[in-house]
Amino acid sequence: MHSSIFNCSYLSIFCHLSLIFLMLGYEHWKGQVLTADELHVLYEGIKLNNVNQYDYVLTGYTRDDSFLDTVVDIVQELKRENPSLEYGVYNKAVTYYNVMYVPENLLPIYRDKVVPAADIIKVSVLLCWSKLKLLGLFQAMNLLHSMGPDTVVITSSDLPSPLGDQYLVALGSQKIGEFDFISTQSRWYSRSEWTSPGWMLCLWERDLFAAMLLAWTHLHPNDLKMACEKTVSVIHHVIKRTINYAKEVAGPNRKPSPAQLKLRMVQSKADIEDPAIVLNAVGL
């Protein structure tokens, strides 16, 4: 166990996104939430056109039980078509400071269907479990491994960092024979200077982290240390470039707007493809 642009045929992302503009700081949002039936119709169209051969599927937050059930059913069907398909599950958190983050009726589906079907799981925040300290996090990751996924990554926790309170501690675990754990500590941005803008950047960063982790674990399937180092380094470079741009456009002593804080993805192409490593992961 070790606990990462694409050289593969397809990448499919099924996301159940509602209130996305509201969550990202915009004042207004419009649109509709895709239902389970509509997702099924969409997938049937994909099958009819014979373009349902995927190497990877990455899913995000889902708030509806029937939609989540349908997503897993589709993933399982895709895996029957391609047994080597890897399913990545990205979720912000199941709990947040001991408060349920996802609807409680989804928990049995996550436990009984989503987690067993997943190959890699990325959880953005695990503040509830982190109160159990490092041993508790190890136990939590072991539990997830026992349910199916080979790779588990916790991208942030409230564990104290020896590097200071401006650093977030991420942990990862990958099941390759014997268990092995790694941790990374990264300074993505200064909390004191960028409390509000940083929060919005965090929301955008999570999707980028999930995509980069899937990409780098594909390129380094047996080296989670390298995959995590490259993933977090990409995040570091993109956020740094975004903050510098937002500060320049907003002007002195002015708070950047959500539009100004949109991640500078195109401008960061070189860093995304070949990031300069800004941290070293540590084996635990």
Please give the structure tokens belonging to residue 145.
């491994």
Asked about 223 being catalytic, the answer comes back as no
Q: How far is CA 282 from CA 56, 164, 215, 231, in A?
A: 28, 16, 21, 15
User: What kind and span of H or E run contains 184?
Assistant: strand 181-186
- Distance, in Å, from the CA atom of 87 to the CA atom of 179, rounded to the nearest integer, reads 21
Q: Which one of 64, 65, 207, 223 is the catalytic residue?
A: 207
DSSP string, 113-170: IIHHH-SEEEES--HHHHTTHHHHHHHHHHHHHHHS-SEEEE----PPPTT-TT-EEE
User: What kind and span of H or E run contains 213?
Assistant: helix 195-219
Do residues 124 and 155 make contact, with C-beta atoms less than 8 angstroms apart? yes
Among 281, 274, 280, 194, CA closest to 239: 194
Q: Measure CA 98 to chain center.
A: 21
Among 87, 85, 83, CA closest to 71: 87
The C-alpha angle 152, 207, 43, rounded to 5 degrees, equals 90
- Write out the catalytic residue numbers: 207
